[in-house]
Amino acid sequence: MWKAAFRGVFAHKLRLFLTALAVVLGVGFVTGTFVLTDTINRTFDNLFVDVTEGVDVYVRAESSFESQLGSSRESVDENLLGEVRRVEGVEAAAGSVTGYAQFIDKQGEPVTTGGAPTLGVSWYDQPKGALDIRAGRAPRGGDEVVMDAATAEAGGFEVGDTVSIITRQAPREFQIVGIAGFGNADNLGGATLAVFDLQTAQGLLEKMGRLDSIDVAAEASVDRQDLLTRLQAVVPEGVEAVASEDVAQEQADTIKGALGFFNTALLVFAGISLFVGSFIIFNTFSVVVAQRTREFALLKALGAGGRQIMAAVLVEALLVAGVASVLGLAAGFGIAGGLSALLGAFGIDLPSTNLVLLPRTVVVGLLLGIAVTLVAAVGPARKAARIAPMEALRTGLSSSAKFSRATMVAAALVIDAGIVILMVGLFLDVERTLWFVGSGALLIFLGLAGVFPLFAGAVARVVGAPVGRMGVPGRLAQRNSVRLPRRTAATAAALMVGLALVGTVSIFADSLKASTQQVVDENLFADFTVSTGGAFGAPTGLSPVIAEEIRQLDEIDSVGAIRFGQFQRERDALAFVVGADVDELTEVADIDVTQGSAGDLADGGIMLSEETADDEGVEVGGNLDVVFAATGPQSLPVVGVFANQALVGSGYLLGLDTFNANFPDAVDQQLFLTIAPGVPAEDAAEALEGIAERYPNISILDQAESREQTVSQINQLLGLVSALLGLALVIAVLGITNTLALSVFERTTELGLLRAVGMARKQARSMIRLESVIIAVMGALVGLAIGVFFGWALVTALDSEGISTLSIPGLQLAAYVAGAALAGILAAVLPARRAARLNVLDAIAHE
């Protein structure tokens, strides 16, 4: 019996290969995603451990929480340094400041980082920190800078060159006196680093007499915990002493939090791969076992028991799944590299380090591959075990597509439950919205997959109707696609899932574009907007000097500046808050004040959008309790309510003075400009050109350009998501290839007959190709129908967030269907070739 099972594995190389391929792909994509996210996390963990090397304790201002927008701490008085040095057990202590500094490369363009910060820091010798001077020497005096090795390498800078640097002050030339690195690393997770001496850094970063942190090294003999306690006793209120490992962890967590979007996206992608991969494994194995029904029937006729047959099938499945899952793990490494390259193509450069394989990844990968394969094998195995031997020998394949009432009811219930959970997540105010939406969508997909075979036949018949009129190959293709609705459904399911998601994202993005444009068109009067470019990472911000210089221009009438920060709301949730000079802001934009007065904002307090006021349950005259990172809890009077949240960019609006008081180091995020009356637009543009030349890191856009930029940013996001889903579609296409190849194998005799009675090779190819197209288009259409529903639900749910217009990109969706048809043709290339090359005689003698 066991011999039969093992023989079964190797007897049919094609089947073995296709089954294994399905498992390898499914496992590969899931582990690939895990490996990539783990690698990203490990990279940042290690990075900050490296960065804090040589320092045991940091003394710095307290912060209520870690903002994701970069430094949110006050600075400390530099006189504290002397006190710290006097504490017993301190070997060395040095003050440091950190801030914004942007290199300009030799072409006059800002050095891009793909979202990583551009840092300016101060140098110290003692304690010996992580930063090594690799060439040249440390910076001394106001005109010298040390550059990180990665930037030097990329920009072709050497010791002795001069380089222009933009800080909070106007751009200046510095002489490069040294090149630095962190141990073996050339830079810090992609960030650029400009190192100045302390006084210069304090001046450039506008922190005269202040320190961001005092870095302390302990004497070798001293217990660090004791030192920490002694330092904590010395520092004044509002200042803390923290162990370096805690700081490293905290910084790593902050960066990881900022990268949370990618991690989530990648995990969602892993989930989709898993789901789609499961379908393919399931489908392939079901087909393979069904094809061997006769073989099992023969074994039964020769006296094998049902139990033995089942065991043989399951052992075979285990064998294949085990080997293929291990291969899948290996493939996962390649896929992780591919994903990383893909992200890089979209401007998200991830620090390259060794790929990380956690035990969790191995366990999940192996479990997934083996469990899904076993589950896929159980059904057909039971069928094989139960079949009456002579019947199977006589009729061969059993292809019953009957559905029990129970299956249908269960599937319907699952769909309903999914919709309810999805709706709860979308429309009710619950925590972990994503979790609700995700599991709701998953349930809907699972349920649909359950009932899909029920209507797959009908859908395929309709989709295939035009194909059915294309001669005999078309007619046969159409009939074949409805022949085994269960198989067709399972084959199309992967594509269905992929396109449902692509459809959802497209509708979401299109609605976002439409809504944003509507708001901007109707309410923003600005002739120009000024901002720093910057793809996905937090934009680096605009030095306040720029707004000042623009205000000096005669051609410009008003300048509205917007600043961005984060504060803490209840349940530890962070919220974005906008700071602006309200008088200036209302001149360039209509925020549509519905209650109270924007003017009162200048005297302190906060304004809320209508939705936010609703959520918070406060009205004008009431107070809102918030926590600022730097300044702690405060109770702000609500002075007004505005309607136009999309334009402000947040539901919380502070006056500029209030904002600056609570956010040290704040820079402008965006400037809105209007042209002075009577000045031609060209003149204003020319005047602004002068500013843009001096600050190469900023972009000044007129209204049309600004609109284009919004659209292109959304498109870029859409592109990234689509590219990720595109990979899931690759799996789907391979799934179609897989099923088709098995179908061709299964229909060998039939193909032989067709060829014998005169079907040309070309016709055989086109028959398989058309069947593939029918399956692909069917999956796409059903998927997009679901996608439109999800998209509608999502946009409806986000109505209060400013996405008010539902826009369905019809042309784009049509293009997806065309793409699916093309994918179908691609998927059919190999199976079609196989069908066409079939040796007619072998085929006739097959049975």
Partner 1 sequence: MRNQPDAQPPDEEPEGGVTREERTEDESTTLEQPEGGGAPDGQREGAVDEPALAPIAVAARDAVKEFGEGATAVRAVDGINMEIPRGHFIAIMGPSGSGKSTLLHCLAGLDNLTAGQSFIGDAEVSALGEKERTRLRRDKVGFIFQSFNLVPTLTAMENITLPMDLAKRVPDKQWVKYLIDTVALNDRLGHMPSELSGGQQQRVAAARALASRPEIVFADEPTGNLDSRRGAELLQFLRGAVDNFGQTIVMVTHDPIAASHADAVIFLADGRVVEELIAPDVQMILDTIKNLEP
Residues that bind partner 1 (CB under 8 A): 471-472, 475-476, 479-480, 483, 749-750, 753-761, 763, 840-841, 844, 847
Shortest Cβ 341–partner 1 spacing (Å): 44
What residues form DSSP beta bridges with 560? 672
Question: Residue 592 or 750: which CB sits closer to partner 1?
Answer: 750
Residue 505: CB minimum distance to partner 1, A? 38
Whose structure tokens read 């840092």? 119
Least distance to partner 1 from the beta carbon of 762, Å?
9
CA distance 692 to 711: 23
Distance CA 796, CA 410 (A): 28
Q: Please provide residue 592's backbone torsions phi and psi, each rounded to the nearest 5 degrees.
A: 60, 70
Helices (H) and strands (E) in the chain, counts: 27, 24
User: What does the alpha-carbon distance between residue 105 and residue 164 come to, in Å, rounded to a whole number?
Assistant: 8
Specify the residue, 14 or 756, whose C-beta has the smaller distance to partner 1: 756
Contacts with 723 (C-beta within 8 Å, 6 or more apart), sequence order: 342, 345, 346
Query: Which token pair is 314?
Result: 């399951």
Q: What minimum distance in Å lies between the beta carbon of 756 and partner 1?
A: 6
Of the pair 540, 748, the CB lying nearest partner 1 is at: 748
For partner 1, the closer of residues 412 and 472 by Cβ is: 472
Least distance between partner 1 and beta carbon 480 (Å): 6
Question: Nearest 5°: phi and psi at 526?
Answer: -60, 140
Report in angstroms how near the CB of residue 286 gets to partner 1 at its nearest. Answer: 20
Please state the closest distance from residue 734 (CB atom) to partner 1, in A. Answer: 26
Q: Which is closer to partner 1, CB of 708 or CB of 842?
A: 842
Strand locations in 66-204 (E): 76-77, 90-96, 98-100, 102-104, 118-122, 131-136, 144-148, 162-166, 172-182, 192-196
What secondary structure, in 3-state letters, does 444-470 show? HHHHHHHHHHHHHHHHHHHHHHHHHCC
d(CA 695, CA 110): 9
Task: Tell me the closest approach of the beta carbon of residue 256 to partner 1, in angstroms.
Answer: 56
Q: What are the DSSP calls for 540-553, one per residue? A: --B-HHHHHHHHT-
Side-chain half-sphere CA neighbours of 102 within 13 A: 29
Residue 838 Cβ vs partner 1, minimum distance, rounded to whole Å: 12
Toward partner 1, which CB reaches closer, 85 or 479? 479
What's the CA gap between 336 and 773, in Å, rounded? 30
- State which residue, 388 or 760, has the beta carbon closest to partner 1: 760
- Smallest gap from Cβ 11 to partner 1, in A, equals 22
CA distance 496 to 784: 7
Least Cβ distance, residue 299 to partner 1 (angstroms) = 23
> In the structure encoding, which two tokens stand for residue 554, read together?
């005669």
What is the rounded CA–CA span in Å between residue 535 and residue 745? 49
Closer to partner 1 at the Cβ: 660 or 749? 749
For partner 1, give the closer residue by CB, 233 or 757.
757
Question: With respect to partner 1, which residue has the nearer C-beta, 324 or 751?
Answer: 751
| φ/ψ (deg, to 5) at 92 | -155, 150
Give the whole-angstrom CA distance, residue 612 versus residue 522. 22
In the complex, the smallest distance separating the C-beta of residue 829 from partner 1, rounded to whole angstroms, is: 20
Rounded CA-CA distance 235/101 in Å is: 30
**Residue with smaller CB distance to partner 1, 299 or 476:** 476
Q: Considering the complex, state which of residue 397 and residue 730 has its C-beta at the smaller distance from partner 1.
A: 397
